[in-house]
Amino acid sequence: DETIQENVTSLAGVPSWMLVLLNNVLETTGKNNLFDIWPNLEVYFHGGVSFLPYKEQYKNILPKKDFRYYEIYNASEGFFAIQDQNNSSELLLMLDYGIFYEFIPMDTYGTTNEKIIPLSEVETDKNYAVVITTNAGLWRYKIGDTVRFTSTNPYRIKVSGRTKHHINAFGEELIIENAEDALKKVCKKTKAEIVDYTAAPIFMKGKEKGAHEWLIEFKKPPTDINYFNELFDNALKALNSDYEAKRYNNMTLNKPTIHIAREQLFYDWLKQNNKLGGQHKVPRLSNNRDYMDALLDLNK
């Protein structure tokens, strides 16, 4: 109500929460797109969660080819990186913001062989957990994010996931980056739109194989969920060789199971757990079934 009459030229915020606000603005005004309300709107700065699942929805309500999207990588602990190029989504690591960086290769993370390396020793195309020391008083603090370097001169990164948010119950090492890329490709093919999702393992019982279980809330569901699932499974195989190996001939993993979540399921779950707001996010991938079972109960 306060902003509808203002000359808004830029937006900044977490994609999932910003979308709730912007759709509310459209509903309140009865307009079809945001330029009918704010004609001078030119840029959206986003961060906090991956933009990939939401990109098409933003394009629908911001239908201008020259509208700009820029990603920033900030958190309560510090401001880490910015998108510094128009034609690339890679993020330039900020080295002069009072933060000293160290990294833990994810292939050793949480093991007896875990090692910490300085920025000077990182390599491209490897996943690292981020460790920071800051002039605000944090000392060798694990922020919980994983990054992958795309360049070391200068240091550019992509956020690949969370140290806790992955599925590796069967050696498949599925990370959020895989899930986001696969969902983006499949949504584009099926013209589906996603609000939120979570995934967890279905553990082996007796002679039954394991699998991954997905709970997806769609803004626009696919016409055929089985076809969507088949495309999604194949996309994950193409992106992750470990997943593909476990899926080969259903050797370890059966085909994924996908449930369609009711409208506002994830919002209701966050509200029930006092986690509304931009600081809280839906857990995307989990190695246990705590989140999944709670959400499935709420989905009834």
Task: Give tens-digit pLDDT for 20-50.
Answer: 889 899 999 999 999 999 999 999 999 877 7
Q: Are strands 91-93 and 78-83 parallel, antiparallel or unpaired?
A: antiparallel
Can you tell me the mean pLDDT for 154-161?
Answer: 91
Q: 8 vs 273, which has greater pLDDT?
A: 8
The alpha carbon of residue 167 and the mean position of all alpha carbons in its chain are separated, in whole angstroms, by: 14
Architecture of the domain whose range is 166-298: 2-Layer Sandwich (3.30)
The strand pairing partners of 158, in sequence order, are 148
Output the pLDDT for position 279. 60
- Report percent pLDDT > 90 for the chain: 66
Per the document, the length of the chain is: 300
Determine contact, residues 106/72, Cβ cutoff 8 Å: no
What sign does the dihedral 123-125-131-133 (CA atoms) show?
Answer: positive
Q: For the chain, what are the domain ranges?
A: 10-72, 92-162, 166-298
- C-beta separation of 283 from 293 below 8 A: no
pLDDT (mean) for 147-155:
96
pTM (whole model) above 0.85: no
- Among 204-213, 278-287, 291-300, the minimum mean pLDDT is found in 278-287
Q: How far is CA 56 from the centre of its chain?
A: 15
Percent of the chain with pLDDT over 70: 98
Assign 244 to helix, strand or coil: helix
Would you state the pLDDT for residue 213?
Answer: 97
Cα(72)–Cα(110) distance, rounded to whole angstroms? 28
For residues 296 and 213, is the Cβ–Cβ distance under 8 A?
no
According to DSSP, the residues that pair with 283 across neighbouring strands are none
The 8-class DSSP code of residue 254 comes to: P
Asked if the model's pLDDT at residue 210 lies above 90, the reply is no
* Candidate from 13-22, 26-35, 54-63, 119-128 with smallest mean pLDDT: 13-22
